[in-house]
Amino acid sequence: MEDFFDQFFNFGPQVQPEQRGSGSGVIISEDGYIITNNHVVTDGGDGVADEITVTLSNHKTYKARLIGKDPSSDLAVLKIDGNGFPFLLYGNSDNVKLGQWVLAIGYPLTLETTVTAGIVSAKGRSININSRQSQSPIESFIQTDAAVNQGNSGGALVTTDGQLIGINSAILAPNGTYAGYSFAIPVNLVKKIVNDLIKFGDVKRPYLGVSVDQEKYDAGDGAHVGSVAKDGAGAEIGLKKAM
């Protein structure tokens, strides 16, 4: 009877099932550098996938290694070995216009390569989703109504002439599936972060070293400096505590 109740109420030995996840990615160089989302290759924290496999549209499969990741922007860079890979060209996300037609490319819901179309409805959008995996989230999403679902994460948002303008990263949906709104990281932000990850393994960000005196803050009078760190850029250019 004890064994029966242990099994019925799950008190007995438990086997942890193998954890698997999938997403999309964008090849950005002929030698196999790939952009994807941080949340595709990690658990949202410090945990990274034990093994990363990349399958191309021609069904060839490669083992990938993680070059670097940035939870703040939800980006990661992978590398597969080889040469002569087809790759996307960077566009300029600053030139994207509201109402412009765009295409989202990825592998949603276990489907093979899928393309959906939509229009840009906003730029510089923040939905506070990256705060789930970072204490210093960076968000400036391109919002579109191109259909994006689970599996699209890390895939390309491109113009109608095929230039990469964003990396699809998130949806805003109460039921977990596409409800009309999708969000992509603008490529001009992606380029800076990806270049740092490839060159340094992490992202180099400026450090002003200044805190704001909240009690003296006045939107019409700017922000009053409360303190200045000695090793910050603010101290180097002569910023001082407001009197």
**Both tokens of residue 67?**
């070059």
**In sequence order, what are the residues at sequence separation of 6 or more whose Cβ sits closer than 8 angstroms to the Cβ of residue 157?**
102, 103, 104, 105, 142, 144, 146, 164, 165, 166, 167, 168, 184
Q: Is 61 helix (H, G, I), strand (E, B) or coil?
A: strand
108-112's contacts with Cβ under 8 Å and 24+ in sequence apart are 108/147, 108/148, 108/149, 108/150, 108/151, 108/152, 109/149, 109/150, 109/151, 110/22, 110/151, 111/151, 112/57
Token pair recorded at residue 34 = 């790939």
Q: Which residues are catalytic?
A: 39, 74, 153
Residue 24 near residue 41 (C-beta atoms within 8 A):
no
CB count in 10 Å sphere of residue 101: 12
Cα-to-chain-centroid distance, residue 98: 22
CB of 42 within 8 A of CB of 176?
A: no
Which residues have CB under 8 Å from 83's CB, separation 6+? 30, 31, 32
